[in-house]
């Protein structure tokens, strides 16, 4: 019984840790994971580079498998930082940054 409780606690902690959304401030606007590509473009302007990476299969909340387009947009450098935004199915999935070239 104690092992079940411990396992349940660990699973809850893992689920809570993955629920955090990443965000990035571009100018006076803030974009976050889950935002649409249209929202990001209207807030941050056109990216310096827009690369088509291919397609990815994703399973929606109803269990249906869909193929979505994957793109990476890059902005910067701004104050020495470059930002890389990954979109899957026109939704911002990941935000990375890198200092320097």
Closest CA to 73 of 94, 56, 58: 94
pLDDT band at 27 (very low <50, low <70, confident <90, very high): confident
At 35-85, the pLDDT tens digits run: 999 999 999 999 999 999 999 999 989 999 999 999 999 999 988 999 999
For residues 97 and 94, what is the distance between their CA atoms, to the nearest angstrom? 10
Closest CA to 31 of 85, 82, 70, 76: 85
State residue 37's pLDDT score: 97
């Amino acid at each position: 019984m104690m092992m079940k409780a411990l396992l349940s606690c660990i699973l809850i902690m893992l689920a809570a840790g993955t629920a955090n959304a990443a965000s990035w401030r571009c100018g006076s606007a803030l974009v976050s994971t889950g935002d649409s590509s249209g929202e990001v473009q209207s807030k941050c302007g056109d990216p310096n580079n827009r690369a088509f990476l291919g397609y990815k299969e994703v399973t929606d909340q109803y269990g249906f498998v869909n193929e979505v387009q994957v793109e990476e947009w890059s902005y910067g450098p701004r104050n020495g930082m470059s930002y890389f935004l990954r979109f899957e199915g026109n939704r911002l999935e990941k935000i990375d940054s890198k200092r320097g070239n």
